[in-house]
Structure 1
């Protein structure tokens, strides 16, 4: 559990500042579950430069509660949570100082989004909150007011969590927690999981991932792990001390995230993972008459595939389907052994390429259309699909036919501005497996929109 926090102060000498406003959003890693926002009477004058910066003046605070009146609420909302703030050292010092004045020792673990951003966004021009969130297309309102800055920090932290492929944030938090605080029944973990699409992670006592997977229903899939009676399942149940998850909003993003994190983390119980996810492909060539042929074959690393498949049957089924869609010829594509014309010539669904009656240019034009539709080769596109919440979209970037990563968007200008787009996209390795995952998915399922990138 995290509490995203921002504090405004009176300014003045070190350790003599007073709190003028505080905003806290309790965040479970996926949604805000509680919040506390309040002006605070610091019982001292505000420095003029602070008034100009924040707009908070002494008159506004005369009837505001004093710190001791909000202290209990701050303790309650931050209990058993990690404080997350931009320049956390400052906010944490101010809080500890105020509590010390009350005779209370306030201690919490902290995470600083400045330090996290330096690790996960190494190419940012500036790490000040205002400049950083603007460069990422994150909207900011009420800058230099506690809630405005806290909400901006919350959006930044969500982005940093999505970019943290090594799960270093989660591991650093988990390792510091006291072990043995879990419910005696591991099935209780399932109650906290969503029945939504995403990737789940099963952690051991050190926070290391021992198993991960994608599912369209995370709760149901993890429940299956905990109720399975196989020897392997029992070992997983015994070692699992925590289950975390990331919602992706759509299955394609979940497949890509699962693929990337299996390679990166190599969990001990994901032994089934294959180096190559496909074994057959459709290849193109030209026959002796100049017609482009599309043939289903076993993988040949020396040849460039149009698209890839898990089986020969899958590749041949694809050729049958595009024959109907683009009026292609089964004989040209090696699916018919007819001595004369193919069987579809008689019903006019083949236009005569099999007996050299159709002009080569006309036939090849339709083959090229089919290849362009079903191959990612040389394409630069953004695949838009459902996001994790209402009003959000997921964008999956393909550049020159290679998968680059994906990210989440709320505003149209984030999509139209290529620099903002690339800063929000979480980079992932593109390879033959990611190309297979994406092309296979697009053949079988619909996405919201595909945008060409210039």
Structure 2
């Protein structure tokens, strides 16, 4: 165990069973860093999804000002190559399918021992010596072609949307970033197939500063739908899969639950994955003092776990008055849904002297614009003259709701 010196997300606690109390007396990373350097010196780090583990190690060492650099081997990639057609390559499911015993899941010893046994099996199957000859990854500094360097030099390190063109003037990729130059450098040094294709085809890059990340997200989504660039296939589809819904149970309590976003009901808010939805619900249930049973976080026919530890007021067993409980649920709904609301979202502008503004009328996103700090934007006529109309669709709703959830200090102004 290592003390991360930060709060552990409730979703992670639920997944791994590791909580803050268990880590309270564990050593901090800087206290074990020297030992990690010693035991990995002149070694190849073998891990299941090694890019993740290696990235975590590098990040922690970087915080200490130490350049940590090692060769790595990934047992996920090797398993896919040497044991094809398995239904799953997660460590738990793969080892179970191969008859490798595993205990202490999500603990260092259990996961590491299972990975060792899996690696030994892979070594015995590797008749062509793929592991020794090809699979070891050595971290190298990426080189940028001279023509790509010229493009990068013209780009700002600011928030906005960028457009990558080929020699015929066609847009082949549209993206957004809080640092346009840094993101383009990543495209031009990336090793995946999409990055390599972009590097071969790129002729020029243009950009539009937005100041606000929300403006960049909305503009990126709209531009991709309008231009359909060849390397933006994934974002042409709906960008979220799950949503938060409500229902009334037989006792009159409002129940909340995460489900696939394909339902006909109008969602309260939407999520990229079921996991992110569950993570949100764990935090929301705690913030608004909601029952875990009625928020679909604890499956039981009696009282929920929080009731047993005196942190739930008893809606799960009809002890809490219906009106009192439903008021708390409604407060959550009001905070994270803008259905039927007239309001402005005010965010950063492109310069110090301006702000960005996003108009929502009767729950419908109307568009965005920029205003000088001297403008009186409470006047609807002046406000509408500043706004550039944009399409209201499921994706724009998802983008706005997600941004509002993430940015707690965002300025929201209700229109009267």
TM-score, normalized by the shorter chain, greater than 0.5: yes
Name the stretch that deviates more: 421-430 or 198-207: 198-207
Deviations along 1:180-231, whole A, 9 cap, x unmatched?
A: xxx9623111111111111111123343322110011100111122223445
1:65-76 to structure 2, matched below 5 A, reads none
Deviations along 1:287-338, whole A, 9 cap, x unmatched?
A: 1111010011122431111111122222222222121111111112222223
1:212 maps onto 2:174 in alignment? yes
Deviations along 1:81-104, whole A, 9 cap, x unmatched?
A: xxxxxxxxxxxxxxxxxxxxxxxx
Q: 2 CA distance for matches of 1:395 and 1:404?
A: 11
Q: 2 CA distance for matches of 1:412 and 1:435?
A: 29
Deviations along 1:345-386, whole A, 9 cap, x unmatched?
A: 234321111111111111111111110001121122111111
Structure 2 residue runs of 5 or longer lacking an equivalent are 1-144
Task: Call closer, same or farther: CA 1:229–1:315 in 2, change over 3 Å.
Answer: closer
Q: What TM-score, normalized to structure 1?
A: 0.57
1:438 maps onto 2:400 in alignment? yes
Partner of 1:342: 304
Q: 2 CA distance for matches of 1:437 and 1:370?
A: 18
Q: Residue 247 of structure 1 is aligned with which of 209, 218, 227? A: 209
Q: State the shift of 1:233 in Å.
A: 3.0
Partner of 1:390: 352
1:320 maps onto 2:277 in alignment? no
Partner of 1:273: 235
1:363-382 to structure 2, matched below 5 A, reads 363-382=325-344
3-state SS, counterpart of residue 147 of structure 2: coil
3-state SS, counterpart of residue 398 of structure 2: helix
Q: 1 CA distance for matches of 2:245 and 2:313?
A: 22
Q: Residue 225 of structure 1 is aligned with which of 187, 197, 204? A: 187
Q: 2 CA distance for matches of 1:342 and 1:191?
A: 58
Deviations along 1:149-176, whole A, 9 cap, x unmatched?
A: xxxxxxxxxxxxxxxxxxxxxxxxxxxx
1:410 maps onto 2:379 in alignment? no
Q: Residue 264 of structure 2 is aligned with which of 276, 299, 302? A: 302
Q: Residue 261 of structure 1 is aligned with which of 203, 207, 223? A: 223
Q: 2 CA distance for matches of 1:231 and 1:313?
A: 28
Deviations along 1:46-98, whole A, 9 cap, x unmatched?
A: xxxxxxxxxxxxxxxxxxxxxxxxxxxxxxxxxxxxxxxxxxxxxxxxxxxxx
Contact in 2 for aligned 1:225/1:233 (Cα 8 Å): yes
CA RMSD of aligned residues (A): 1.9
3-state SS, counterpart of residue 236 of structure 1: helix
Tell me the matched-pair count.
272
Contact in 2 for aligned 1:384/1:447 (Cα 8 Å): no
Task: Call closer, same or farther: CA 1:328–1:188 in 2, change over 3 Å.
Answer: same
Q: 1 CA distance for matches of 2:167 and 2:301?
A: 67
Partner of 2:157: 195
Contact in 2 for aligned 1:403/1:429 (Cα 8 Å): yes
Contact in 2 for aligned 1:214/1:255 (Cα 8 Å): yes
Structure 1 residue runs of 5 or longer lacking an equivalent are 1-182
Partner of 1:311: 273
Contact in 1 for aligned 2:254/2:326 (Cα 8 Å): yes
